[in-house]
Amino acid sequence: MTGPLENLDAVVEELLDQLAAFTSVEELDAHEPVLAGRRSPLAALQKSLGGLDPEARRDAGARLQAARTRVEAAVEGHRRRLAAAERERRLEADRLDLGDVVAGAVPDTLRAGHPGLVARTQAELEDVFVAMGFRVAEGPEVESDWYNFEALNIPPAHPARGMWDTFYVDLGEPETVVLRTHTSPTQVHLMEAAVRDGSLPIHSVMPGRCYRRDTPDARHLAAFHQVEGLVVDRGITFADLAGVIETFTRAYFGTDVDTRLRPSYFPFTEPSAEFEITCQICRGAGCRTCSHTGWIELGGCGMLDPAVLEAVGIDPDEWSGFAFGFGIDRCAQMRHEIADMRALTENDARFLEQFS
Ligand SMILES: [Zn+2]
């Protein structure tokens, strides 16, 4: 037989030989276009049929299609066999050999796990605040825009929103939903509940995880932990706030740690301040972690803006209060002199075991 398909059988045999040489699904996938796809010799033969008369072209086309079907079926069959063999090898590798255990050869140094440093630090901070008369409250990590921003005196398009690089869960109507950028929404929940139940005053701390689209560096993580405090009572002044901050930092970090408040801005407090403590890495001398200032910002605080009280239905003429918040990870970093906060999330057992 002559014509464009005179070597068809030999071409198919050659392709089947090539196919048999592939020993992994990955390798087979990579070469499939050469065997049965657009880069296959069969595809080239298809193009060469154009010069035949219609009847010859129909016969040749049918033969070519049969050849192609045969190669494709062979590729599929080989792929199934390779996949089955790979699965078998994986199972074999994963098999747990219990022979040693049955024989009593259990290692005599079983190592128990322990809470991570952040969880431990959170528990220690809670203890400090409970001893000061605060209650511990929790709230959801996924919040509506209202709780995370608007109820805190941060309406849409407020320039202060730029202070929080936000992860948005849902931009849909009727509500935008975010991963909370701070634990402050829990304050709103607490105040609403206190109004509903008639259970004012409030003296609470709210620990929990928060999220910001920060690029992690020595002092920042994208998922981090905060504890916030909220006091709503009659006759609360800034002196009460300053006293709580100082009592807490001394109880947690020790009496040799200095605290300073610096004027700052938060939309939900007025006046607002940042509080800083002596950098515990360099003891105030200046280092990379504190950007050579000797001070580390621990958190923010301030007197509750009357608009925040009004938004949840608390009469600002009768009640006043303050709020503060700071990073739990940052506390752990300072207390244990960890130069780079990213060590907290890298799961290096040599690092973690130092805090067992
Ligand atoms: Zn320092």
DSSP 169-205: EE--SS--EEE-SSSHHHHHHHHHHHHHHT---EEEE
Per-residue pLDDT for 34 more than 80? yes
Q: How far is the CA of 219 from the centre of ligand 1 (A)?
A: 12
- What's residue 131's pLDDT? 94
Is 79 inside any structural domain? Answer: yes
Instruction: Answer yes or no: is 106 within a domain.
Output: no
pLDDT at 51 over 60: yes
**Residue 209: which pLDDT band, with cuts at 50, 70 and 90?**
very high
Give pTM, 2 decimals.
0.65
- Per the CB < 8 A criterion, the answer to whether 224 and 208 are in contact is no
Q: How far apart are CA 309 and CA 266, in angstroms?
A: 15
343 and 273 in one domain?
yes
The rounded distance, in Å, linking the Cα atoms of 188 and 309 is: 9
Residues having C-beta closer than 5 Å to ion ligand 1: 279, 281-282, 287, 290
Residue 261 and residue 338 in one domain: yes
C-alpha pair distances (Å), 109 with each of 105, 106, 240, 247, 304: 12, 9, 51, 42, 54
The CATH number that applies at residue 147 is: 3.30.930.10
Residue 107 lies in a domain: no
Domain of 285? 117-355
- Ligand 1 centroid–CA 284 distance in Å is 6
The torsion angle over the Cα atoms of residues 150, 156, 159 and 160, rounded to 10 degrees, is 20
* CA 355–ligand 1 middle distance (angstroms): 22
Closest CA to 223 of 232, 234, 210: 210
Pair 54, 194 in one domain? no
- Distance (angstroms) between ligand 1 centre and the Cα of 230 equals 29
- Confidence check: pLDDT of 194 > 80: yes
Tokens at residue 168, please? 């948005």
The CA 62 to ligand 1 mean position distance, Å, reads 80
Distance between CA atoms of residues 247 and 141, nearest Å: 29
Q: Which of 73, 100, 127 is the last residue of a domain?
A: 100
Indicate whether 45 and 95 sit together in one domain.
Answer: yes
282 with 176, same domain: the answer is: yes
Q: What share of the chain is helix, strand, coil (3-state, %, to 5)?
A: 45, 20, 35
Give the pLDDT band of residue 111 (cuts 50, 70, 90).
confident
Pair 90, 160 in one domain: no
What's the domain count of the chain?
2
Taking only the tens place, the pLDDT of each residue in 275-303 is 999 988 888 999 988 899 999 888 999 99
Question: Which residues are bridge partners to 210 per DSSP?
Answer: 224
Q: Which of 70, 100, 130 is the last residue of a domain?
A: 100
Are residues 49 and 64 in contact, defined by beta-carbon separation less than 8 angstroms?
yes
Q: What is the 45 CA–ligand 1 centroid distance (Å)? A: 74
pLDDT at 3: 77
Q: Residue 112 domain-assigned? A: no
Tell whether 167 is covered by a domain: yes
Per-chain mean pLDDT for the chain: 88
CA of 333 to the centre of ligand 1 (A): 11
Question: Are 143 and 264 contained in the same domain?
Answer: yes
Is 2 domain-assigned?
Answer: no
Residue carrying structure tokens 């972690």: 289
Domain boundary among 57, 75, 100: 100
Distance 334 CA to ligand 1 centre (A): 9
